[in-house]
Amino acid sequence: MHMADALISPAVGGVMWAATAGIAAYSIKKIQSDLDDKKIPLMGVMGAFIFAAQMINFSIPGTGSSGHLGGGLILAILLGPYAGFLTMASVLLVQALFFADGGLLAFGCNVFNLGFFPCFIAYPFIYKIILNKGYTSGRILFGAMLAAILGLQMGAFGVVLETVSSGISELPFRSFVMLMQPIHLAIGVVEGLVTAAVVTFVWQARPEILQKTAMGQALGNLSIRKVITGLAIVALLTGGALSWTASTYPDGLEWSMARTAGVEELELPQGLHQVMAAFQEKTAFLPDYSFRSAESEEETEPAAAEAPWPAVSAGTSVSGLVGGSLTLMLAAATGIIISVFKRKEKLATINKA
Amino acid sequence: MSNISNTLYNMHALDEHADTKTMLHSIHPVSKLLVTMVFLLVVVSFHKYDLSGLLPLVFYPLVVSSLGDVPFRLLFKPMLLTAPLLVGIGIFNPILDQSIAVVFCSVSISGGWLSFLSILLKGGLTILAALLLLATTGMDRIAFALRMLYVPRLFVLQLLLTYRYIYVLLEEFGRIWNGYLLRAPGQQGVGWQVWGSLTGNMLLRSMDRAQRVYEAMRLRGFEGEYHPGGTRPLTLADIGYMAGWVLFFTTARYYNLPALLGQLVTGGIS
């Protein structure tokens, strides 16, 4: 069950789409530089395999329930992180188009939660490191379990963050986290066990498959990974810790504005600027770089002179209700009229022939 | 695994429907793709309490499914699939949000209920839009549209191959599953003793097949390129289709059409 469009805001959807597109573009570049054409059919068939494998019910002994495979980790192990990420993206796209399992706007979120975390974090930083010393069934089990559990925890946390920052669902952060994380812990355990079982089987039956991908990663990619890791850590530190020390004084631009025009921000001219500013205000999910908190909204309400949204008055409600019903009736009527016309057309063509 | 035949049927049905010849099917796939994305953005951008403003957007799936001759039963099942998620998360809204939003005939409706209904309506609209895109366009033409929008060839090729091989692998897995059932009757799912070997065998078979597919493609001249079989330029009809719907969506977004309509009617009556 992937994230639906109805639960995210356009801003969150857009940001995650951009992030996913960026990672996908980077992955494509990485694959193309060391691609032999054989990888394309392999990625395609592996995508189909994961799609089919997701339908398998793995019955858990003693509980009477069953678990399912996500597949991100297996794909990373068999194809490498870049190809694995792209394959996961194509599987999710087919699911979104054919089964509406995951929205098209939420596609970026879903690929990020189910592709980025297993392929670019769980696989290289957990699984690979544990398996660095060589394959044994114990290490495979431990590596797969830890990577699957942590990868799924991160994915679930991603879902929570995306939903809460969209503001459509009223679930508060803490309750949602306490709902999602334990469920995905159980799912992660099943995924880890199944992944370990499959990898162990492949390692015993055809070890060359695993060795090939392992070797491919060891050549030439390590330095770039270190660089990216380093940058990511620096970014987190700067954003997280150092932002506490951010100055409350006006920045350079605001300071110069205050000096010259007497105000820190210009009043927007009428027309397009106002419209765009209103759009931005509505869609910004981190206004002024903080979470949109209920308290700040309450503070601004007494200051606002306009009526609270929506206007609570019987008159507006009646016309709204009338208008709403009329709209629905019009829509249904349009649909019926079109199908009547089409039927007449079909009968006419049949009669002609 | 028992729903393999259902899955195959649904996929076939939707994709075969894309080969129907209606006016809508002859519109350029890029137009339909862009209209769908704009529709999704607009639907999702409505305020959580704005239920009436969302209603005019129902026109889009109704008109498209009528013009495209898409049978309702094809669209209904996937909606049922996603409904539990939306209800499961949305039902907390009436519980957590008790602020009064609307008073009608001395019945006060809380914001929570409005936002819950809004989630359900948005969910229905977005799901229908995605399914209708596929039903009126088909996977091959969507891939063509993606390529025209500069999505890298590698991803488009790989997407098409995944799609094609889903049919092939699902049929093969259906046979493996039947074989397993005949040897281990009364199982609800795959027993833990064979988690590794059953899935592992499926995996190895898939990889061997991938090798054969690659060799077959090479023998037929595959060099890593994607040739969709000729380009198709946008016509005036395609641009008109896009412009018309985008105009309607933006109007519905910025003006509460049902409220205006209602005011017109009730103002006319009184």
At A240-297, the pLDDT tens digits run 554 555 555 556 666 666 666 666 566 666 666 667 767 776 665 455 555 544 444 4
**What's the CA gap between B171 and B174, in Å, rounded?**
5
Contact B22, B69 (CB under 8 A): yes
Please compute the mean of the pLDDT values over residues B130-150 and round it to a whole number. Answer: 90
Kind and range of the H or E run holding B104? strand B100-104
User: Is there a contact between A321 and B7 if contact means CB atoms under 8 Å apart?
Assistant: no
Residue B172: the pLDDT is 87
User: Is there a contact between B217 and A10 if contact means CB atoms under 8 Å apart?
Assistant: no
Q: Between helices B29-45 and B111-137, what is the axis angle to 10°?
A: 180
- Output the average pLDDT for chain A: 78
Write out the two tokens for A116. Answer: 């980025």
**What's the CA gap between A84 and A17, in Å, rounded?**
18
Please compute the mean of the pLDDT values over residues A325-351 and round it to a whole number. Answer: 83
Instruction: Decide if pLDDT at B253 tops 60.
Output: yes
State whether residue B5 sits within 8 Å of chain A by CB: no
Q: B3-55, pLDDT tens digit by residue? A: 788 888 888 888 888 888 888 888 899 999 999 999 999 999 998 888 888 99
Determine what percent of chain A is predicted with pLDDT higher than 90: 33
State whether residue B265 sits within 8 Å of chain A by CB: yes
Residue A149: the pLDDT is 95
Residue B256: the pLDDT is 84
DSSP state of A4: P
**What's the CA gap between A21 and B155, in Å, rounded?**
11
Looking at this predicted complex, what is its ipTM?
0.90
State whether residue A178 sits within 8 Å of chain B by CB: no
User: Is there a contact between B163 and A201 if contact means CB atoms under 8 Å apart?
Assistant: no
**What's the CA gap between B146 and B225, in Å, rounded?**
15
- Output the average pLDDT for chain B: 86
What is the secondary structure of A320-350 as a DSSP string? HHHHHHHHHHHHHHHHHHHHHHHHHHHHHHH
A251 Cα to chain B: minimum distance (Å): 32
Instruction: Decide if pLDDT at A300 tops 50.
Output: no
**What's the CA gap between B85 and A129, in Å, rounded?**
36
Closest partner residue to B44 (CB to CB) among A10, A200, A282 is: A10
Residue A219: the pLDDT is 34
State whether residue A329 sits within 8 Å of chain B by CB: no
Instruction: Decide if pLDDT at B169 tops 80.
Output: yes
Q: B196-240, pLDDT tens digit by residue? A: 888 888 888 888 888 888 888 889 888 777 777 666 788 899 999
Instruction: Decide if pLDDT at A36 tops 90.
Output: no
| Residue of A196, A189, A178, A199 whose CA lies nearest to A149 | A189
Q: A178-195, pLDDT tens digit by residue? A: 988 988 998 899 999 999
Q: Chain A partners of B190 at a C-beta cutoff of 8 Å?
A: 56-59
Instruction: Decide if pLDDT at B241 tops 90.
Output: yes
Residues A88, B132, A12: CA angle, nearest 5 degrees: 50
Residue A77: the pLDDT is 93
- Residue B169 three-state SS: helix
Instruction: Decide if pLDDT at A299 tops 50.
Output: no
Kind and range of the H or E run holding A67? strand A66-67
Closest partner residue to A58 (CB to CB) among B65, B161, B189 is: B189
User: Is there a contact between B37 and A197 if contact means CB atoms under 8 Å apart?
Assistant: no
Distances (CA, A) of B107 to A309, A325, B262: 18, 18, 20
Task: Look at the block and give the residue holding tokens 């194509």.
Answer: A90
Q: Chain A partners of B223 at a C-beta cutoff of 8 Å?
A: 37
Closest partner residue to B161 (CB to CB) among A40, A313, A319 is: A40
Closest partner residue to A55 (CB to CB) among B1, B154, B165 is: B1
Beta partners for residue B123, in sequence order: none
Q: A149-163, pLDDT tens digit by residue? A: 999 999 999 999 999
Residue A302: the pLDDT is 40
Q: A135-151, pLDDT tens digit by residue? A: 888 999 999 999 999 99
| Alpha-carbon radius of gyration of chain A | 26
- Residue A59 three-state SS: strand
B129 Cα to chain A: minimum distance (Å): 9
Instruction: Decide if pLDDT at A45 tops 60.
Output: yes
State whether residue B29 sits within 8 Å of chain A by CB: no
Q: How far is CA A302 from the centre of its chain?
A: 37
Q: How far is CA A306 from the centre of its chain?
A: 37
